[in-house]
């Protein structure tokens, strides 16, 4: 399928090249695929990502605040729940197995690349509407969906299999589709069916592009514990 996560996402992704490819094919990702990523880098990334998820949960909670319909609220609240109940749980589990306690995880000092990304997303939501916020959130959700799907098919090692299964699995792929539908519907509701002709479109694509670059920075941070 050429638009597995909806129409707007496909258009925004095309506008964000080559940053999109740098994000989804980063050396960190290729290391997960081949099992060559040093364990130390992976655990460092997971600890930072735990802090990232705390702020991302806040951003998705803001999407509930910025919703204008019940179905928008349902989609946003479903993501808040998936984040807090499942994704953060994955990090806690893997870190605990590696001897990093939940207290240590919570006390992780946030790296600047991490802080820049989540505060950029929150600011997009604070000063804008649901569209500005979703444009900043989409690269994270769909990027990991693409990476998970590709690595499920191409991985040559089982070392990072739990991580790959989480994002390549049916549940997560369904969540990406749901966010794609939320984005398409929210755009149509606010800007009309021809949303790419709206004067707001280029700014939304710019927000998506910046968030994509911040994802590249996050992977790069992961490689430098
Ligand atoms: C740097 C970074 N980017 C994206 C994700 C993936 N992710 C974060 S929130 C969310 C949506 C709800 O599941 C998803 C998929 C991550 N973990 N870390």
Point out the ligand 1 atom lying closest to the alpha carbon of residue 140.
4
Cα–Cα distance for residue pair 4/170, rounded to 1 Å: 13
Structure-block tokens of residue 211: 């968030």
141 CA from centroid of ligand 1 (Å):
6
Check residue 94 and give its pLDDT.
Answer: 86
Q: Which of 26-40, 80-94, 119-133 has the least mean pLDDT?
A: 80-94
As to burial, measured by CB atoms within 10 angstroms (0-12 exposed, 13-18 middle, 19+ buried), residue 202 is exposed
Query: For tokens 């070392």, what's the residue?
Result: 159
Helix (H, G, I), strand (E, B) or coil at 208: helix
Contacts of 22 (CB under 8 A, 6+ apart): 216
Of all protein residues, the one whose alpha carbon is nearest to atom 15 of ligand 1 is 141
The CB of 82 under 6 Å from ligand 1? The reply is yes
Nearest CA to 12 out of 131, 167, 130 is that of 131
Does pLDDT of 212 surpass 90?
A: yes
Point out the ligand 1 atom lying closest to the alpha carbon of residue 167.
15
Point out the ligand 1 atom lying closest to the alpha carbon of residue 143.
4
Which value, in Å, is the radius of gyration of the alpha carbons in the chain?
17
The CB of 218 under 6 Å from ligand 1? The reply is yes
Does pLDDT of 2 surpass 80?
A: no
200 CA from centroid of ligand 1 (Å):
26
pLDDT band at 1 (very low <50, low <70, confident <90, very high): low
Question: Using an 8 Å Cβ cutoff, are 190 and 16 in contact?
Answer: no
Query: For tokens 């994000």, what's the residue?
Result: 23
Check residue 78 and give its pLDDT.
Answer: 93
Q: pLDDT digit string (tens) for 57-74?
A: 999 999 999 999 999 999
Q: State which of 56, 79, 108, 218 you would mutate to test the pocket of ligand 1, scoring each by most atoms of that ligand within 8 A of its C-beta.
A: 56
Of all protein residues, the one whose alpha carbon is nearest to atom 13 of ligand 1 is 83
Nearest CA to 136 out of 49, 207, 61 is that of 207
Nearest CA to 80 out of 102, 47, 110, 58 is that of 58
**b/e map 46-85, b = 16+ CB within 10 Å:** bbbbbbbbbbbbebbbbbbebbeeeebeebbeebbebbbe
Of all protein residues, the one whose alpha carbon is nearest to atom 4 of ligand 1 is 140
pTM to 2 decimal places? 0.96
139 CA from centroid of ligand 1 (Å):
9
């Amino acid at each position: 399928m050429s638009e597995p996560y909806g129409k707007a996402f496909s258009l925004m992704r095309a506008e964000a090249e080559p940053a999109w490819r740098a994000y989804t094919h980063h050396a960190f990702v290729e290391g997960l695929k081949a099992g060559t990523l040093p364990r130390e880098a992976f655990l460092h990334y997971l600890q930072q990502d735990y802090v990232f998820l705390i702020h991302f949960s806040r951003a998705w909670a803001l999407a509930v605040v910025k919703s204008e319909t019940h179905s928008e609220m349902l989609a946003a609240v479903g993501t808040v729940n998936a984040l807090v109940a499942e994704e953060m749980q994955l990090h806690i589990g893997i870190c605990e197995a590696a001897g990093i306690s939940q207290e240590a995880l919570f006390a992780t000092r946030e790296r600047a690349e991490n802080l820049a990304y989540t505060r950029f997303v929150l600011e997009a939501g604070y000063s804008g509407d649901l569209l500005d916020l979703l444009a900043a959130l989409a690269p994270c959700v769909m990027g990991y969906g693409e990476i998970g799907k590709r690595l499920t098919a191409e991985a040559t090692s089982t070392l990072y299999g739990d991580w790959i299964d989480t994002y390549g699995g049916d549940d997560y792929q369904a969540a990406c589709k749901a966010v794609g539908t939320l984005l398409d519907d929210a755009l149509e509701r606010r800007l009309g069916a021809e949303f790419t002709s709206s004067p707001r479109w280029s700014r939304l694509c710019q927000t998506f592009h910046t968030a994509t670059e911040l994802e590249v920075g996050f992977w790069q941070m992961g490689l430098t514990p």
